[in-house]
Amino acid sequence: MELNQLIDFIKKIINVKLTVLGGTVITPLSIFIFLGVFALLFICSRLFIRLVAKKILDRLSIEKGLHFSIIRVIKYSLLILSLLFSLQFIGVSITGIAIMFGFLSVGIGFGLRNITSNFISGIIMLFERPIKVGDRVTVEGFEGIVTDIKIRATTVQTLGERTIIIPNSYFIESHVLNWSHLDKRVRVDIMVGVSYSADVDLVEKTLMEIAYKNQYILNVPAPRVLFLNLGDSSLDFKLYAWVSEHTVYYSALSSLHFEIIKKFRELDIEIPFPQRDLHLRSSFESQKALAD
């Protein structure tokens, strides 16, 4: 096969009509051009995002969650613009595509209902930011840190170093405990029961001293001790104290427990356990009582 024949053969192959999209004939050549232009724009958009992140957002010292949301919005916006420009570059009418997808939207909506719901929920999360990267959340008994929010699902790394992939719609439609939503400070609540013979003033004073001396506890808001209940076998107190952020919550909780037990033992403050008195009477005594 001569060179000219080979060239003619290649031209025929790359110009074969595959389909018509938006009033434009789609050929292997147009697909190749579309992919080339889209890849070039995609690389440029990544470089632009990196430039924005390093030169602008990093200098503003904004919080991690907002930084992530801004980058994601810019990323998806540039991705859509790159796709539309690439289609326009090969002559595909955007209006024609919109009409075609309008007819297909009903069928796609029923078939991909969950994916569509998660997609919309992901967009809502990026703009409303009820959940942000770095937030500590509790979801269906699992507690962890949000590490990534994508269009379809959110990644949560549990305290046991396990990764949970949660659909975005769950965060919009269900009850989720966000430890860091409005205020990073977290309150530590500790219930303490003491015997009825204990000095209640000493109990209050001791709990306050333990809280103020603890390395994790904040002085503002100040710790508080409340006398809540006269229980069956104990006088019930609750210690309220605040830590600066969720990452030290369990460390503070454990530290306070250790100090309370240690200090109460030094001061002979008894922490009682539930007790029940069981009275037994013999069968003979029961019959005698009935006869009398």
Q: Which of 74-88, 205-219, 253-267 has the lowest mean pLDDT?
A: 74-88
Alpha-carbon distance of 71 to 80, in angstroms, equals 14
Position 22 scores a pLDDT of 59
For residue 140, name the pLDDT band (cuts at 50, 70, 90): confident
CA distances from 271 to 95, 190, 197 (A): 76, 14, 11
Measure the CA–CA gap between 59 and 67, rounded to whole angstroms.
11
146-180 residue pLDDT tens: 888 887 888 888 877 788 888 888 888 878 888 77
The residue among 38 and 6 whose pLDDT is bigger is 38
Mean pLDDT value across residues 213-236: 90
Q: Using an 8 Å Cβ cutoff, are 125 and 154 in contact?
A: yes
Q: Judge whether residue 262 has pLDDT over 90.
A: yes
Domains of the chain and any CATH numbers: 10-111 (no CATH), 131-178 (2.30.30.60), 186-266 (3.30.70.100)
The answer to whether the CB of 131 falls within 8 A of the CB of 98 is no
Amino acid at 39: A
Q: Is 239 a residue whose pLDDT tops 80?
A: yes
- Residues 226-238: what's their mean pLDDT? 89
Six token digits for residue 183: 């205020």
The per-residue pLDDT for 46 is 81
Give the pLDDT score at 217. 92
- The total of other beta-carbon atoms located within 10 Å of residue 99's CB is 12
> What is the rounded average pLDDT of the residues 47-76?
70
Q: Which of 36-45, 118-127, 206-215, 270-279 has the lowest mean pLDDT?
A: 270-279
pLDDT at 276 over 70: no
Q: Which of the two residues, 70 and 249, has the higher pLDDT score?
A: 249
The residue among 54, 62, 68, 49 whose CA lies nearest residue 132 is 68
- pLDDT tens per residue across span 16-29: 776 666 566 777 77
pLDDT in tens, 68-126: 667 777 777 788 788 878 777 777 766 656 655 555 555 555 555 677 777 778 777 77
Query: What are residue 91's phi and psi, to 5 degrees?
Result: 90, 10
- Tokens representing residue 67 in the block: 């930084």
Summarize the confidence of residues 185-211 as an average pLDDT.
91
Strand-pair category, 153-158 with 19-21: unpaired
Count CB neighbours of 228 within 10 A.
13
Residue 155: per-residue pLDDT = 87
**pLDDT at res. 211:** 93
**CA–CA distance, 199 with 194 (Å, rounded to integer):** 9
Within 10 angstroms of residue 81's Cβ, the number of other Cβ atoms is 12
Q: What percent of the chain clears pLDDT 70, i.e. is strictly above it?
A: 73
To which H or E segment does residue 204 belong?
helix 200-213
User: What's the first-to-final CA gap in the chain, in angstroms?
Assistant: 127
The number of helix segments (H) and strand segments (E) in the chain equals 10, 10
Query: Mean pLDDT over residues 127-140, rounded?
Result: 80
Mean pLDDT calculated for residue range 253-270: 92
> What pLDDT is stored for residue 178 in this prediction?
81
User: How is residue 240 written in tokens?
Assistant: 């309220």
